[in-house]
Amino acid sequence: MNDKKHLEVSAIKNGTVIDHIPTKSLFKVIDILGLDKVETQVTFGTNLESKRMGLKAIIKISEVYFLDDDINRIALVAPEAKLNIIKDYLVQEKKIVEVPDKIVGIANCVNPQCITNNEAITTRFSVISKKEVALKCHYCEKITDQEHMHIK
Amino acid sequence: MKNRSLVSINDYSRDEYLRILEIAAEFEANPRQNILNNTIVATLFFEPSTRTRLSFESAVNRLGGKVIGFSDSQSSSVTKGETLKDTIKMVSNYCDLIVMRHPLEGSARYASEVAGVPVINAGDGANQHPTQTLLDMYSIYKTQGTLENLNLFLVGDLKYGRTVHSLLMAMSKFNPTFYFVSPPELKMPAEYKLYLDNLGLKYHEFRDFTEIINEADIIYMTRVQKERFSDPIEYEKTKNAFILRNHMLKDTRDNMRILHPLPRVNEINVDVDDNEKAYYFTQALNGVYTRQAIIASILGLK
Kindly report, residue by residue over B166-203, the tens digit of the pLDDT.
Answer: 999 999 999 999 999 998 889 999 989 999 999 999 99
Q: Which of A79, A109, A84 is nearest to A95 (CA)?
A: A84
- Amino acid sitting at position B66: K
Question: What ipTM goes with this model?
Answer: 0.87
pTM summary value: 0.87
pLDDT computed for residue B137 by the predictor: 98
Of B8, B104, B110, the CB nearest to A141: B8
Q: How many C-beta atoms lie closer than 10 Å to residue A88's C-beta?
A: 7
Kindly report, residue by residue over B118-168, the tens digit of the pLDDT.
Answer: 999 999 998 999 999 999 999 999 999 999 999 999 999 999 888 999 999
Give me the mean pLDDT over the B109-114 stretch.
98
Residue A121 near chain B (CB below 8 Å): yes
Chain B partners of A142 at a C-beta cutoff of 8 Å?
105, 127
pLDDT computed for residue A1 by the predictor: 47
Q: Establish whether B302 is a catalytic residue.
A: no
Q: Terminus-to-terminus CA distance in chain A, angstroms? A: 37
Chain B partners of A140 at a C-beta cutoff of 8 Å?
105-106, 124-125, 127
Q: Establish whether B53 is a catalytic residue.
A: no
pLDDT computed for residue B238 by the predictor: 76
pLDDT > 90? residue A47 = yes
Buried b or exposed e, range B267-286, using 16+ CB within 10 angstroms: bbeeebeeeebbbbeebbeb
Q: Before B118, cis peptide (omega within 30)?
A: no
Show Cβ contacts of residue A35 under 8 Å, excluding neighbours closer than 6 positions: A29, A42, A59, A61
Chain A partners of B198 at a C-beta cutoff of 8 Å?
none
Q: Could you say which of B52, B238, B252, B290 is catalytic?
A: B52
- Judged by CB atoms closer than 8 Å, whether chains meet at A141 and B127 is answered as yes
Alpha-carbon distance values, B83 to A123, B76, B89, B93, B123 (Å) = 17, 11, 10, 16, 18
Residue B191 near chain A (CB below 8 Å): yes
Q: Could you say which of B101, B102, B142, B162 is catalytic?
A: B101
